Amino acid sequence: MAGLKRNRLLAERPLPRDGREPSPHASRSPSGSLRRSVTVNLAESPLGWLKARGMVSDNQFDAGERLRADWERSQLSPRVTMRWDAPPMGKGARGAPEIDDPTTAQLAAKRRFEAAVAAVGPGLSDIVWRVICAGEGMRDAERALGWPARAGRLVLGLALDRLAAFYRLE
């Protein structure tokens, strides 16, 4: 009964001009379109956590953030849902629709990411990927790699130094 009453009250409220429910963080621009503001806490990342406690230098942090930006820009992370941008098939067409080539920015980011991981080296790139790209905490990354406790921070520091050299931040 309470659920029905709540739905009725929501239906009686006036909606905005465009008919959508505004979020609590939504505002209108001067042109009348709906805008949203998003607050991001950079210290929530494992690398940000280490930086806030003085465990990585500014150059190491900047190198890690550049790698993470290349990772995100190249769209290498696993997809959560299907691709909705594929064009529908026309009448009589058979097979999968042709997929557009990725943008040049995405390809350039992928090349930079792969070159940076190669510059870090095969022994160090595992911890870099887990902490920076996958967002795993240091303890989880050490456990997944089978390393002793507190070994990951030392190895990550070496890897971040190589990344800083690759991105010419030194």
The residue written with tokens 């790698």 in the block is 67
Tens-digit pLDDT profile for residues 60-104: 999 999 999 999 888 887 767 766 665 555 555 555 555 555 678
What is the length of the chain?
Answer: 170
Yes or no: say if 117 and 160 are a contact pair by the CB < 8 Å rule: no
Query: 125-147 pLDDT, tens per residue?
Result: 999 999 999 999 999 999 999 99
CA-CA distance, 91 to 156, in Å (whole number)?
A: 54
d(CA 69, CA 39): 18
- Tokens found for residue 140: 């989880």
Please count the CA atoms within 13 angstroms of the CA of 125 that sit on its side-chain side: 11
Tell me if 169 sits within 8 A of 65, measured CB to CB: no
Using N-to-C axis directions, what is the helix angle for 58-73 and 104-120, rounded to 10°? 140
For 79, other C-beta atoms within 10 Å of its C-beta total: 7
Q: What is the pLDDT of residues 7-53, one digit of tens each?
A: 343 344 444 454 555 555 556 666 666 666 666 565 578 999 999 89
Q: How is the chain split into domains, by residue range?
A: 42-77+103-166
151/5 Cα distance (integer angstroms): 57
- CA dist 130 to 45, 87, 117, 120, 125, Å? 12, 34, 12, 14, 9
Counting residues of the chain whose pLDDT is more than 90, the rounded percentage is 46
